[in-house]
Amino acid sequence: MDSCREDLLRKEQIHCLYEAIPLTVIATIINAVILTIVEWQVADHRLLLVWLVSLVVVSLARVLFFVAFRRAQAEASQNAYWERYFITGSVAAGILWGSVSFISIPEGSVIYQVFVVFVISGMCAGAVTTLSYLLLPVLSFLFFTLTHLLSVCL
C-alpha cells in the first residue's frame, strides 16, 4: 500500500514540474534575450548568438516534453520515464545558463560582470521555486549553472 502512495505522490510531483514548464520557458527566453542585448557590446557576437539559439532550442524541446506529457496522461508506472526527460531538460538548461559565464563575463567591466551574476542568480532563484518538487532537478540545475560562476567569483 505504501508503494502505491509513493508512486502517486511521485506522479503528482512530476506533474507539478511539467506544469511549470510554460512559465519557465517564457522567463528563460526573456532573460536570455535581455542578457544577449546587454552583453552584445562586450562579448563575442557569434558565441552569444550560438548560446541564445541553443537555449531557445532546449526551451522548445522542453515545451514539446510538456505537450507530450499532457497528451500522455501518464500513469504512475511511467514516473521514471517522464522524470528522466524532465531532468534531461533541466540539466541542459543548467549547462547553457552556466556556460554564459564563460562567454559573457568581460574582464575589467564590473557592471557587465554584476549584470551576468544578477541574471544567473535570478534564474537560480526561479529554478528553486519551480524545480523543488524533486531534489534531483533542482540540484542538477543549480550545480551546472553555478559551478563555473562560483569558481570565477571566488
Mean pLDDT across 27-33? 97
The Cα-based distances of 116 to 2, 56, 80, 109, 112 in angstroms read 46, 18, 35, 11, 6
For residues 50 and 78, the answer to whether their CB atoms sit within 8 Å is: no
Q: What is the pLDDT of residue 29?
A: 97
Read off the pLDDT band of 131 (50, 70, 90): very high
Q: Which amino acid is at 135?
A: L
- Each residue of 72-127: pLDDT tens digit? 877 777 888 999 999 999 999 999 999 998 887 767 778 888 899 999 999 999 99
Q: What is the pLDDT of residue 101?
A: 84
For residues 11 and 79, the answer to whether their CB atoms sit within 8 Å is: yes
- Each residue of 7-24: pLDDT tens digit? 889 999 999 999 999 999
pLDDT of 39 over the 70 cut: yes
pLDDT of 1 over the 60 cut: no
**What is the 3 state secondary structure string of the chain?**
CHHHHHHHHHHHHHHHHHHCHHHHHHHHHHHHHHHHHHHCCCCCHHHHHHHHHHHHHHHHHHHHHHHHHHHHCCCHHHHHHHHHHHHHHHHHHHHHHHHHHHHCCCCCCHHHHHHHHHHHHHHHHHHHHHHCCCHHHHHHHHHHHHHHHHHHHC
Q: What percent of the chain has pLDDT over 70?
A: 95
Q: What is the pLDDT of residue 79?
A: 87
Q: What is the pLDDT of residue 73?
A: 79
C-alpha–C-alpha distance, residues 25 and 32, integer Å:
10
pTM surpassing 0.85?
yes
